[in-house]
Amino acid sequence: MVLWVVLLCTLVSSLLGGLYVLGVFRRQRPNEPPLDKGTIPWLGHLLEFRKDSSEFLKRMQSKHGDVFTVLIAGYYFTFVMDPFSFGTIVKESRSKLDFRTSATQLVVRVFGYKPIEATHSIVHTSSIKHLMGDGLTVLTQATMESFRKLLLFNLSSGEKRVWQEENLFHYCYNIVFRAGYLALYGTEPPRGAGGQEKAEEQDRLHSNQLFQEFRKYDRLFPHLAYALLPPKDKREAERLKRHFWNVLSVKNVWQKDNISGWISDQEKLLAENGVPEYMRERFMFMLLWASQGNTGPTAFWLLLYLLKHPEALKAVRDEVDKVLKESGQEVKAGSPPVTVTRDMLNQTPLLDSALEETLRLVAAPILVRAVLEDTSLRTSTGTEFTLRRGDRVALFPYISVQMNPEIHEEPHKFKYDRFVHPDGTRKDFYRNGKKLKFVSMPWGAGVSTCPGRFFATAEMKLFVFLMLSHFDLELVDGEEEIPAIDISRWGFGTMQPVRDVRFRHRPRF
């Protein structure tokens, strides 16, 4: 009899526990945002969210208003769509809203790296030292050297002015990935006679092979992040992970010359903090993805928008030519390729604005924080909400600010000078007469702001600067529409196009 009672109690409590996990008992409490659990227990809105996050969030916003809680794969996400509330969320103390909880889950799943307590501060200390200030000047020089090696190496050998056709997305992603990789992870040491030339050839070959494998992983990334890969792709993802861990193994990394301080410092600091070698390889893979996954695609969009808007192309090209001339350099037949410095890149307000406009149109991260204790949130209209402990709070600035017609006039249009006054100063933006702090958030915000944003900006500008100063460029089919963005990648930084566009280039002189 007693046994039956125990069994029955166990069964009932497991059943109740199961129902609790499925979200059956969850109710909206007083002061909490509207709750929408969808129709499928536990999964909630996962399928619709994965299909098109942007459309789903727009639908929820028109149904529930600026703040609402939705169930997605067992987690309750409170989305805050009111841009005036962003500051409160991104500045909230770590003891209440924590960035690391969900970031850790993702990096374990996607890169196999298990962060230690010190990881975040190691990344940030090294980034402040090497991706900003004087460190950035050094890294810009190294990136210029990589571009010379990849983009300009056969120009001075008297190549004829013939058009060369390529896929624009592939071309930009390939060159920018390889230039960033060589600048950060170092180059082949020259050995023996003809060593320098051979080493450069080896760098071109190796970085190209790495890019091909990287693209395979990149394509699997969205499904991998949501743990939705079919078995065949899962095996391929495992193979690719192992490949990158091996290429970026401690042994291989330290064989290179010219390793950036950003990579070498982080490697050493992790070792000093007791992180074993096999984990440091995984960390290196994570850094590769963080540093290379968005710059190439953004450079593609920037060039494409410029090619589709002749007035923008002319304005930016004139600016580039002027800066070049003022530096005492000229691109002409037979002369060596130009050297672009960080100082020169600081004199291009129109290129800055065109890049910022590109990022506004194509960068769509979802910023997530875990709610560690009940936290109150007051919106700009004065409504006070309670965010519940154990939930997640999320921002999707793409809809809230970047594409918001109340903030950006004609938000779907590319306006290269949207962010700059004719005198080169930055424009301010308002909503309902009130000045906004966040008008585009491609780099995230607060504690998780991208630490590579200044380097990324320098790298992409350098690429476009060199392309415009050294080459004539045109689309093969000038009438071709700008391709739509691949909506399966919402939330993962810069979006990619659904199809590639052909372009041609030839040396300018």
Give the interface with ligand HEM as residue ranges (CB under 6 A). 103, 120, 123, 131, 290-291, 294-295, 298, 363, 365, 367, 442-444, 448, 450-452, 455-456, 493-494
Distance CA 291, CA 184 (A): 9
Dihedral of the alpha carbons of 449, 452, 455, 456, in degrees to the nearest 10: -80
301 phi and psi, to 5 degrees?
Answer: -60, -40
Q: Cβ closer to ligand HEM: 56 or 301?
A: 301
Distance of CA 346 to CAs 352, 417, 452, 458, Å?
Answer: 9, 16, 17, 9
Distance of CA 277 to CAs 72, 274, 464, Å?
Answer: 36, 9, 38
Q: How far is the CB of 443 from ligand HEM (least distance, A)?
A: 5
Which position has the token pair 């700009």? 380
User: Which residue, among 391, 370, 380, has the nearest Cα to 29 in the 3D structure?
Assistant: 391
Q: How far is the CB of 208 from ligand HEM (least distance, A)?
A: 19
Amino acid at residue number 45: H
Residue nearest to ligand HEM (CB): 452
Q: Cβ closer to ligand HEM: 155 or 458?
A: 458
Q: Cβ closer to ligand HEM: 107 or 155?
A: 107
Q: How far is the CB of 454 from ligand HEM (least distance, A)?
A: 9
The number of beta carbons lying within 10 Å of the beta carbon of residue 504 is 16
Q: How far is the CB of 8 from ligand HEM (least distance, A)?
A: 46
Q: How far is the CB of 340 from ligand HEM (least distance, A)?
A: 17
Q: Cβ closer to ligand HEM: 155 or 367?
A: 367
Q: How far is the CB of 416 from ligand HEM (least distance, A)?
A: 17
172 is in an annotated binding site: no
258 is in an annotated binding site: no
459: left (phi over 0), alpha (psi -120 to 50) or beta: alpha
Q: Cβ closer to ligand HEM: 103 or 199?
A: 103
Distance of CA 345 to CAs 163, 320, 338, 459, 460, Å?
Answer: 28, 9, 13, 10, 10
Q: Cβ closer to ligand HEM: 23 or 452?
A: 452
The number of beta carbons lying within 10 Å of the beta carbon of residue 73 is 16
450 is in an annotated binding site: yes
109 is in an annotated binding site: yes
Q: How far is the CB of 116 from ligand HEM (least distance, A)?
A: 13
Q: Cβ closer to ligand HEM: 69 or 440?
A: 440
Distance CA 303, CA 168 (A): 8
Mark the binding-site residues, compressed into ranges. 109, 294, 392, 450
Mark the binding-site residues for substrate, compressed into ranges. 109, 294, 392
Mark the binding-site residues for heme, compressed into ranges. 450
